[in-house]
Amino acid sequence: MQTIIEPFKIKSVEPIHFTTKDQRVNILRDAFYNPFLIKAKDVIIDLLTDSGTSAMSSEQWAGIMRGDESYAGSNSFFRFEETVSSITHMKYIIPTHQGRASEKILFSITGGKGKYFISNTLFDTTRANIEFAGAEGIDLLCEEGKQPSLISPFKGNIDLIALEKTIQEKGVENIPLVIITVTNNSGGGQPVSMANIKAASLICKKYSIPFFIDACRFAENCYFIKQREKGFENKTIFEIAQELFSYADGCTMSAKKDAFANIGGFLAMNDEALAMKCRNLLIITEGFPTYGGLAGRDLEAIAIGLKEVMEEDYLKYRIRSIEYIGDKLDTVGVPYIKPTGGHAVYLDAKAFLPHIPANEYPGQALCGELFLEGGVRGVEIGTVMFGKYDADGKTISAPMELVRLAIPRRVYTQSHIDYVAEVIIKVFKRRETIKGYKIVYETPLLRHFTARFEQL
Ligand code: F0G
């Protein structure tokens, strides 16, 4: 196979500061073994998130200069609106400062006590916003999605049988909406098939329940559909995206992912009454409906980024660069969620460190070791992020113990990625010596951001 090269040249660079292993021991201890508490200057390769960390293109930077900062009716808003509308065909497009602001607005209006929101898998901020509004989130991931080593094309699919059953059990009147995350971030960045989206949408129609898409990584999902689903081989990503959104009544979006923007998001929907309520709340919390918490220049960057992300040379390189890490890990049998997803490699910490039980946080321990070994920063997606306590204070563990290494868009080159694979493999070779953690400080909601740990 011919090398797939980065489809861009580099015009502006940012230095990386190198640290020694001895320095990293102190850095990690001072950060209470929580990657979120490490200073960015102390990280060599930062794979904490692909969110807001993209490199913008020269066109986007040009758009920044063109940004119209008018309070109301800005030109930049209309360019943004036109682009979002061309992809989603939604009637009401509401800019927000990021994905969770869209969630906060949507779920405070539709949620509340006794309500249930059903998903393939809710992302942590989505679940938190649902719970904060007093409602409950229900994840109904398909069986394939729960088996990390199983190779299957659409492991992000929702379980359709469970969806219908849950609607009947909980009662239509208690389900304000169903929301599908594409790709499924918390479940390995795995894609959802068009057939699954269409079928889920039909079930929702049957019960008159609005069907939403959490669209953060829609382009990556559409590329997988083109690669893996019959009938889409010859369609453009734009056409596939249009079909995907055609099944939805609305969407939430963080433009910090598949729009290459460093900040931004939106809410889009077809229901006028709901849109008016959202806009009213937007004005109180975010800003006037033609800027919604963003500068005009941000709206320009998003509008341009949304078009660039659908270019196939880019997506081919993007998806291959993630798969490339997986290929390297396969040479020594490092366990990870297979096949690799759209934006990250998810190491399977349960299989990597089978001697560490869930209540000693194997994912967190693995994150610590990757940092110590090579200054690589990833994030735990496991019992630290999603674990709960039962009435007796015993840990209810998350279904999977993962470490996500998310690859920022257009930021790192192949040699950076080679280095990351080397670091993982070195840690894998000494895995028996790694010890678990205990939590010494935590908050009730989204504890992973601020929790403090001690090594056991
Ligand atoms: N939905 C999904 C699927 C996400 O991955 C995120 C953010 C959000 C919603 C919220 O968007 O950050 O703009 O408020 N995910 C980031 C991550 C933080 O690291 O995966 P936001």
Please provide the DSSP assignment of 377-422 as one string. Answer: E-EEESHHHH-EE-TTS-EE--S--EEEEE--TTT--HHHHHHHHH
Contact 51 CB / ligand 1 (< 6 Å): yes
How far does the centroid of ligand 1 lie from the alpha carbon of residue 406, in Å? 12
Residue 443 sits in which domain range? 21-50+312-455
Answer whether the bond into residue 339 is a cis peptide, omega within 30°: yes
Looking at residue 279, its pLDDT comes to 98
189 and 272 co-located in one domain? yes
Contact 126 CB / ligand 1 (< 6 Å): yes
282 and 416 co-located in one domain? no
Instruction: Report which protein residue has its CA nearest ligand 1's atom 16.
Output: 51
Into how many domains does the chain fold? Answer: 2
Looking at residue 1, its pLDDT comes to 72
Contact 125 CB / ligand 1 (< 6 Å): yes
**Cα–Cα distance, 29 to 450 (Å, whole number):** 14
Contact 359 CB / ligand 1 (< 6 Å): no
32 and 149 co-located in one domain? no
Residue 182 falls inside a structural domain: yes
Residue 374 falls inside a structural domain: yes
Residue 9 falls inside a structural domain: no
Instruction: Report which protein residue has its CA nearest ligand 1's atom 11.
Output: 99
Of the residues 274, 308, 342, which one is the last residue of a structural domain?
308
Residue 400 falls inside a structural domain: yes
**Cα–Cα distance, 241 to 156 (Å, whole number):** 17
Of the residues 249, 277, 308, which one is the last residue of a structural domain?
308
Output the domain CATH number for residue 411. Answer: 3.90.1150.10
196 and 329 co-located in one domain? no
Q: Which residues contact 310 (CB under 8 A, 6 or more apart)?
A: 219, 222, 236, 237, 238, 241
**Cα–Cα distance, 264 to 277 (Å, whole number):** 20
62 and 37 co-located in one domain? no
161 and 298 co-located in one domain? yes
Which atom of ligand 1 is closest in space to residue 254's alpha carbon?
A: 13
Output the domain CATH number for residue 111. Answer: 3.40.640.10
Task: Give per-10-residue mean pLDDT for the chain (456 aa).
Answer: 90 96 98 98 98 98 98 98 98 98 98 98 94 97 94 98 98 98 94 98 98 98 98 98 98 98 98 98 97 97 98 97 97 97 97 97 98 98 93 92 97 97 98 97 91 96
Contact 341 CB / ligand 1 (< 6 Å): no
Q: Which helix (H) or strand (E) holds 25?
A: helix 21-30
Residue 277 falls inside a structural domain: yes
324 and 301 co-located in one domain? no
409 and 273 co-located in one domain? no
Residue 28 falls inside a structural domain: yes
Looking at residue 445, its pLDDT comes to 81
Q: Taking the model in full, what pTM does it have?
A: 0.96
Of the residues 263, 289, 308, which one is the last residue of a structural domain?
308
304 and 408 co-located in one domain? no
Contact 256 CB / ligand 1 (< 6 Å): yes
**Closest of 371, 369, 400 to residue 385, by C-alpha:** 400
323 and 253 co-located in one domain? no
Looking at residue 187, its pLDDT comes to 87
336 and 356 co-located in one domain? yes
Looking at residue 213, its pLDDT comes to 98
